[in-house]
Amino acid sequence: MIIFINEFIIKIIGHKKAQTFSTTEFDHLIDAKLDAVVSRNLVGHVMIINVLPPTIIRLFSIIKTEELPHLQSITLISNDKEFLEELIKQQYKVLKAAGGVVQNEFGQILMMYRLKKWDLPKGKLDKGESSRIAAIREVEEECGVKAKLGEKICTTFHTYTYKNEDILKQTKWYSMDLVDDSKMTPQEEEDIEKLEWMGKEKVKSALINSYSSIRYVLKKFYQQ
């Protein structure tokens, strides 16, 4: 599980996988059994081991209330990864969404320009709707494009605040093949300014002005 929070990320890693890590990759190593988590140590790349419930509550209290301008990533190590993930979700209201990476016959990717950044089509699930159906629906609604669903790429989590409520959005991403873009139109009511088909090199340039979560999705897409 990887959570994108502003411009830093949180990774949750099981204890077995953590054995392959080198601590030299991190700027700070915090043993939660020995030291309290404090904001002055949340700088650069941080690893926290022996993570317990009070650690999570303390950490996310800091994240929600303090500025952490120099933090790049936090890697949490736990013997019970699934329990830790559920505990983190409890710190937020979880919303489920789905989106797609649409590719045309020339291998170009459909990118959208929204709120001054390059993005991919996605949106919240309607009540009772599956992720697969929602992904296709959102592509058509936001872009006016019909596409055929392919394989799942990955799941991302990112946080934001809406009406003083802390939200964790869980988005399932799917690869898609273009069926028809003859009616391609940006959905203006969703603040989409323009749509563009981009080859891989242009995508790389566009991702400079994008979000960490979108860079992660496209990295996974190109690796498939």
Domains of the chain, by residue range, sit at 2-89, 93-223
Distance spanning both ends of the chain, measured CA to CA: 19
Return the pLDDT at 172.
98
> ∠49-55-57 over CA atoms, to 5°?
150
Report how far Cα 124 is from the mean position of its chain's Cα atoms: 14
User: What SS3 string covers 104-172?
Assistant: CCCCCEEEEEECCEEECCEEECCCCCCHHHHHHHHHHHHHCCEEEEEEEEEEEEEEEEECCEEEEEEEE
Return the pLDDT at 7.
74
Return the pLDDT at 17.
81
CA quadruple 150, 151, 157, 160: dihedral, nearest 10: 0
Q: Give the pLDDT confidence of 142-156 residue by residue, as tens digits.
A: 999 999 999 999 999
Q: What is the mean pLDDT of residues 139-144?
A: 97
Rounded distance, CA 63 to CA 55, Å? 12
Whether residue 23 is predicted with pLDDT greater than 90 in this model: the reply is no
Return the pLDDT at 18.
79
Least confidently predicted of 5-14, 29-38, 173-182, 208-217: 5-14
Report the residue count for the chain: 224
| Domain at 93-223: CATH architecture | Alpha-Beta Complex (3.90)
Which band of pLDDT confidence, cut at 50, 70 and 90, is reported for residue 110? very high
Whether residue 169 is predicted with pLDDT greater than 90 in this model: the reply is yes
Which band of pLDDT confidence, cut at 50, 70 and 90, is reported for residue 24? confident
Q: What is the mean pLDDT of residues 99-116?
A: 97
Whether residue 93 is predicted with pLDDT greater than 80 in this model: the reply is yes
> What is the token pair recorded at 66?
């303090």
Q: What is the mean pLDDT of residues 31-40?
A: 92
Whether residue 78 is predicted with pLDDT greater than 90 in this model: the reply is no
